[in-house]
Amino acid sequence: MATHPPALRRLVAVAAAVLLAFTLAPAAPAAAAKPTPGDFTGYGFDQCLTPTQSAMDAWLLHSPFWAVGIYISGDSRACRNQPNLTPTWVSTQLKKGWRLLPITLGPQASCSDRFPRYGNDETINPKAAHRYRKARKQGRAEAADAVAAAQRLGIPKGSTLWYDLEAYNTANTACRESALYFTSAWTSRIRALGYVSGVYSSAGSHIKAMDDARVQRPGTFLMPDRIWIARWDGVANTSTDYIREDGWRPGGRMKQYRGGHDEVHGGVRINIDSNFIDLGKGSVARRSAAWCSGTRVDFPTYPTLRKGASGATVTAAQCLLKKSGHYAGRLNGTMTPATGEAVKRFRASLGIKKNRIVGPRVWVALHSHKVKTSVVKYGGTGERVRRLQRALNAASSEQLAITGVFEATTTAAVRRSQARLGLPVTGVVTPTMWSRLRSGRA
């Protein structure tokens, strides 16, 4: 790494950020990507060194995590060298469905006993003159540096950029106030450059200092849009006794609930911190698509249908058979000969006994027919989640609510289905599991 003085490096970074902010034709990957992490409720992890692509692929298929923290800038970060972190790495993760949490770890509080880390990394200037003018200048410079790094990597505007401010002694007035002015300036500049401001810190340190200032001195400091609370209590939620429940709600919190530890997923071991995320609107499904002009297809259980059966579940079966291309008759709610023949043809397509019975295997396959087979896990939303929930209900009477949101009860049902199928019990629905569902085996 070059050894130019920090001030010169920051001048170059500010100039680069200004030029990038006014570029008329952004690079194609940034233009195509959606802001990250977007609206999401789920699990994430962060690690000092950006994982390799093979590690990310293994964890996508086998871990509960669907968000990853990456250190993109800051002279005080432990892993200054990030050989895996490239524009290609970023675009690949976004295409695969990962949510990214870009982190900057630059100047730290002046009273911290852990910084400067290297000797040539700055700490936040504690001088109070002109409302901590020097600290505010540092905050703006770090924001410009972070935006420049984000844009070089293809992280689109509208994404949240996080500032990592490690724990410090909040009883030290100059140290605390300079830190508050620093993150206030960071937030102002991040917003001006088109991104969303986030601040990470310990619950009892800068997070509490910001919350106290928010309530006791409203308007004095510009608060970040989102907070990332470090509170290693082992509870996967976004609450802590250190701050009030009303702050940064709804949709403005995530919590690092477990500190450094090893986890192995898909045979890949990584030392991580674990996080629970509830940002934006959270994981909320859009309104369900209409099936066959409003035919009801959501049921807690799906009974076996034979000749002579009638009712709403028969209408649902006729609708699903029509959608699969095996039935062209009326949706009359009666197991007519034409309906029975359609069932027989559908069963033939599955390679199973050609009779006219709609049993669990037929129901599961009908609900999974031609569904998009990409990975889905906790935090996923949409029609494929609804179809998964219907298939699980058909397979073993799970009686899941058909919400279109992949949450704890759906995860538990998936794990039970995987155990029955002899698949790795991960709670993650992979293309392999979708294949089993499409064949009716669940």
pLDDT tens for 184-204 read: 999 999 999 999 999 999 999
The secondary element (H helix, E strand) that includes residue 415 is: helix 408-421
Q: What are the structure tokens assigned to 194, written together?
A: 């088109």
pLDDT given at position 231: 98
Listing DSSP states for 170-208 in one string gives TTSHHHHHHHHHHHHHHHHHHHHTT-EEEEEEEIIIIIH
Per-residue pLDDT band for 32 (boundaries 50, 70, 90) equals low
Those residues with Cβ within 8 angstroms of residue 343's Cβ, 6 or more apart along the chain or in another chain: 317, 321, 326, 355, 356, 357, 358, 362
Instruction: Say if CB 135 and CB 141 are below 8 A apart.
Output: no
Give the confidence band of 17 by pLDDT, cuts at 50, 70, 90. Answer: very low
Q: Which of 98, 65, 112, 128 is nearest to 257 (CA)?
A: 65
The mean pLDDT of 404-418, rounded to a whole number, is 97
Q: What are φ and ψ of residue 221, in 5° steps?
A: -125, 150
Asked whether the whole model's pTM tops 0.95, one would answer no
Q: State which H helix or E strand residue 62 sits in.
A: helix 53-62
In the structure encoding, which two tokens stand for residue 342, read together?
A: 């359609």
Q: Which of 120, 195, 192 is nearest to 163 (CA)?
A: 195
Helices assigned H by DSSP within 80-120: 87-96
Asked if pLDDT for residue 20 goes beyond 50, the answer is: no
Residue 276 near residue 101 (C-beta atoms within 8 A): no
Task: Give CA–CA dist 390/253, Å, rounded.
Answer: 32
Give the residue from 12, 21, 34 showing the smallest Cα distance to 90.
34
Residue 27: pLDDT over 60 = no
Bridge partners (DSSP) listed for residue 53: none
Percent of the chain residues topping a pLDDT of 70: 93
Of 122, 128, 126, the closest CA to residue 104 belongs to 122
> Average pLDDT of 87-104?
98
Written as six digits, the tokens of 81 are: 């060298």
Structural element, H or E, at residue 226: strand 226-230
> What average pLDDT does this structure show over 374-395?
96
- Which has more pLDDT, 7 or 209? 209
Average pLDDT of span 269-275: 98
Q: What is the C-alpha separation between 316 and 358, in angstroms, rounded? A: 11
Structural domains of the chain, with CATH: 6-279 (3.20.20.80), 312-438 (1.10.101.10)
Condensed to tens digits (0 to 9), the pLDDT of residues 236-257 reads 999 999 999 999 999 999 999 9
d(CA 357, CA 335): 10
28 pLDDT band, cuts 50/70/90, is very low
Q: Residue 372: which pLDDT band, with cuts at 50, 70 and 90? A: confident
